[in-house]
Amino acid sequence: MRGLEEEQAYAGRCREALRAMVAGARENVVVGELTWGDRYTAERLGYYLKSLARELADEGDSPPFFGRIEYGVGASAGEHSGQAYYLGRRHISDAIGRPPLVIDWRAPVSTAFYRAGVRDPQGVAVRRRYGWSNATLTGFEDEQLSRQSSDVPAEVPGVAGVGRGAVGGILRAEIERPRVGPMRDIVATIQPEQDELVRAELEASICVQGAPGTGKTAVGLHRAAYLLYAHRARLQRNGVLVLGPNRAFLHYISAVLPTLGEVDVEQTTVDDLLIGEKLTVRAADEPAAALVKHDGRMAEILQRALYGRVRVPREAVVVPDSSYRWRVNQYEFAQMVEDAREEATAYGIGRERVISRLVAALQRQAEARGQNCNGVWLRRMARAVTPAVDEVWPAVKPAEVLAEFLSDPAPAAEGILSQQEQLVIAWKRPRKAGSALWTAADLVLLDEVSALVGRGESYGHVIIDEAQDLSPMQCRAIARRSEHGSITVLGDLAQGTTPWAAGDWAQQLSHLGKPEAEVIALTTGYRVPAAVVAIANRLLAGLQAKVPATRSFRTDGRLALSHTDDLAAGCVDAVRGALKEEGSIGVIAADEAIAELTAALHADGIETVAPDGDGRVALVPASLAKGLEYDHVIAVEPAAIAEAETRGLNRLYVVLTRAVSRLDVLYHRPLPAELG
């Protein structure tokens, strides 16, 4: 086995090779620009080579590898018998035809690094993890996985050895390290239960019910990177989409995929995905109205609102054509409309079918008379029958359909929504689409109508974070975008805070169009220390969600509950105390308390940032805390957080599980009873 100096020399060799790869990629950019005549091909190739050169150059001083597996000699190691492999964020090689110096963490052979254990060594004799201080390799530790002496390599010096299968110092240090700035990748330390999800088959839709800090988000992002590696051609064509709960969260996770070399993944929120429909949100719904609009029954209602326009033809279609008059009688025309409806394609396609079937009927008559029906003639006939079709199957704009429905919900909602429900969503006065004050929920409805009118595009894979919070109508919008692909659903029923949050996964998955997806639970938390998990777990009993309690991987950390008569002053003191230690600080409070706390901190000369800002002290409204984490969290007045909304206790559960190392709970009013 190699000693530290040899390993450092190897790291130097890898860096050298990487530099040569960058130079080679840059040269290819130049050669590519000179060689390719066809502009489109040249552009595509140039884009690819340039981004490769940029990506490689961006590697800069980051460690070229993080781990190494050494196989034993013998049958259990199979084709890898006696081999050793270095693993890194990307593949590094110094000559074509020679084995790579470093293997991409996503390559099949890397799987053993993540999954081999004492119980199932998978042929691996020794797993080595490296410790880096910036660009310098400072140490490593070995785990001896294989028991049979014949499977252990000859020389195994106990360099920084950590015993069989124990959690080593480097691994623990990485998981417990203080957090600063945005989320980082976890390629060096993906745990076996996470790796199984990261590398699940592309065809498999999966649902991860994960307690706080179990790595759901990390798993989702690494799965995106893995799938793009394993199925690049297919997924580059159809795309991979990552959906998160809000923009602060997206900002927090935005750096992970680029550091894994994946820059082409679309990352957005459900709202922003729908705003793609080009209307802007100009108003907010009353909670009762939002509840009705997000209800799954709206799907049938909108279908009615749209198809309510289709009528039974009352007249024949007659088209004069030079000396002839072609004619489709009323009965035939009605049959065409009925057939198109029964075929249940999109509304727009149904209309096109009626037009083309009318034209085909005219064509049969004309050809029987020996007429030549060329393209020009067919287009002229299509124009001629359109007014008759407009009468029975009019062209529509989705926004107009929705505006008409919200101006008067009764005709479509009759028998599905109660009078009261119709009343809460109805506009006070009728409006046209152009002057409507659209709300966020309206965009979800609009998306539904647009899809009924004409099908949109479907992604190859969609990863949905915080999926417990989606309404049935939002799920449908996502289902449409993953109709021909697979999905990874990530969430925690206990963290559901929207009025329509899911109560169980089976139903949510059927709204998402993938009822067959397997639900897998993650319960080992890597963020929240045991003392903090213990207090958060007390809330679980009061949150209707049936989920297993979290077990913390971490024995460190600190929890302090302090009563104070002056929350603002107490908060300033707590932040001052936290600033003496390392890592990021998040002050989380009920939304309406944020302004006052900010003012108090500023008056004391402490700079603060919003949740998506880059600074040490972030002030975080409880409603935006989801998915985020801070080294030190100061949770202010739990009672106010719990009272602020219907699912306030779930919100409090989210707030209490954001801390990586230390949680200060400041309270003036009694703590909610559920906290014990």
Ligand X SMILES: Nc1ncnc2c1ncn2[C@@H]1O[C@H](COP(=O)(O)OP(=O)(O)OP(=O)(O)O)[C@@H](O)[C@H]1O
Q: Is 131 in the site for ligand X (CB under 6 A)?
A: no
Helix H segments across 427-529? 440-453, 472-481, 505-511
Q: Annotation-wise, does 557 bind a ligand?
A: no
Q: Is 611 in the site for ligand X (CB under 6 A)?
A: no
* Residue of the chain from 15, 115, 216, 223 that contacts ligand X (CB under 6 A): 216
Q: Annotation-wise, does 211 bind a ligand?
A: yes
Q: Is 627 in the site for ligand X (CB under 6 A)?
A: yes
Contact 206, 520 (CB under 8 A): yes
Question: CB 522 → ligand X: shortest distance, Å?
Answer: 7
Rounded to an integer, what distance in angstroms lies between the CA atom of residue 511 and that of residue 490?
Answer: 15
Contact 293, 274 (CB under 8 A): no
Q: Annotation-wise, does 213 bind a ligand?
A: yes
Q: Is 176 in the site for ligand X (CB under 6 A)?
A: no
Q: Annotation-wise, does 259 bind a ligand?
A: no
* Residue of the chain from 28, 209, 214, 598 that contacts ligand X (CB under 6 A): 214
β-bridge mates for residue 519, sequence order: 207
Q: Is 474 in the site for ligand X (CB under 6 A)?
A: no
Q: Is 550 in the site for ligand X (CB under 6 A)?
A: no
* Residue of the chain from 32, 64, 121, 213 that contacts ligand X (CB under 6 A): 213
Contact 453, 398 (CB under 8 A): yes
Q: Which is nearer to ligand X, 208 or 298 (CB)?
A: 208
Q: Is 442 in the site for ligand X (CB under 6 A)?
A: no
For residues 178-197, which are near ligand X according to CB under 6 A?
A: 186, 189-191, 194
Three-state DSSP class for 561?
A: strand
Backbone angles phi, psi at 475, to 5 degrees: -60, -40
Three-state DSSP class for 499?
A: coil
Rounded to an integer, what distance in angstroms lies between the CA atom of residue 143 and that of residue 127?
Answer: 5
Q: How many residues bind ligand X (CB under 6 A)?
A: 22
β-bridge mates for residue 320, sequence order: 325
By residue count, the chain amounts to 676
Question: CB 123 → ligand X: shortest distance, Å?
Answer: 23
Q: Is 218 in the site for ligand X (CB under 6 A)?
A: yes
Backbone angles phi, psi at 5, to 5 degrees: -65, -40
Stretch that binds ligand X, among 214-222, 312-320, 440-448, 455-463 (CB under 6 A): 214-222
Q: Is 168 in the site for ligand X (CB under 6 A)?
A: no
**325: amino acid identity, one letter:** R
Smallest CA-to-CA distance from 425 within 327, 291, 324 is with 291
Three-state DSSP class for 64?
A: coil
Q: Annotation-wise, does 216 bind a ligand?
A: yes
Q: Which is nearer to ligand X, 114 or 333 (CB)?
A: 114
Contact 633, 588 (CB under 8 A): yes
Instruction: Provide the token pair at 484.
Output: 């021909």
Rounded to an integer, what distance in angstroms lies between the CA atom of residue 519 and that of residue 193?
Answer: 13
Q: Annotation-wise, does 215 bind a ligand?
A: yes
* Residue of the chain from 159, 175, 316, 416 that contacts ligand X (CB under 6 A): 175
* Residue of the chain from 144, 471, 537, 657 that contacts ligand X (CB under 6 A): 657
Binding mask 89-108 for ligand X (x = CB under 6 A): --------------------
Stretch that binds ligand X, among 93-101, 212-220, 393-401, 433-441 (CB under 6 A): 212-220
Rounded to an integer, what distance in angstroms lies between the CA atom of residue 397 and that of residue 485?
Answer: 28
List the binding residues.
210-217
Q: Which residues are near ligand X by CB under 6 A?
A: 174-175, 186, 189-191, 194, 210, 212-218, 492, 495, 526-527, 627, 629, 657
List the binding residues for ATP.
210-217
